[in-house]
A and B are shown apart, each in its own frame.
Chain A
Amino acid sequence: MGRLFPVILLGVGALTLPYSVQRVFLDTPIERTMGTVQKIFYFHVPLAWIMMLLAVVCGVAAGIQIRTRSERAEATAIAAAELVLVAGLGVLLTGPIWGHATWGKAWTWDARQVTTGLLWLVFASYVLVRHFGAAGSERLAAALAIFGAVNVPIIYYAVKIWKTTHPDNNVVGSLPPQMWASLWPALGGLLAMTLGLLWARIRLERAEIALDEAWVGVEDAPQEA
Chain B
Amino acid sequence: MQLFEDFEPEGADAAGAAGEQAPALGGGEYEPVEGRDRQSIECQRACESVAAKKTASDYSHIVWAYGIIWALFCGYGILMWRRAQRLAADVEALRRRIDNGK
Contact = CB atoms under 8 A, between A and B. Distances in A.
A91 to B, nearest CB: 10
Contacts, number: 105
B86 to A, nearest CB: 9
A32 B58 contact: no
Q: Which of B6, B58, B98 has the most CB of A within 10 A?
A: B58
Interface stretch (B10-18, B22-30, B41-49, B69-77): B69-77
- Interface size range on B against A: 20 to 34
B98 A32 contact: no
Interface string B45-85: 00000000011011101101110110011001100100110
Given A29-B4, A31-B3, A94 B68 contact: yes
B73 A86 contact: yes
B38 interface: no
A40 B54 CA distance: 15
A40 B1 contact: no
Interface of B: 1-7, 54-55, 57-59, 61-62, 64-66, 68-69, 72-73, 76-77, 80, 83-84, 87, 90-91, 94, 97-98, 101-102
Interface of A: 21, 29-41, 43-44, 47, 82-83, 86, 89-90, 93-94, 97-98, 100-101, 171, 174-176, 178-179, 193, 197, 200-201, 204, 207-208, 211, 214-215, 218, 221, 223-224
Closest 4 CB pairs of A and B: A36-B58, A37-B58, A94-B65, A30-B4
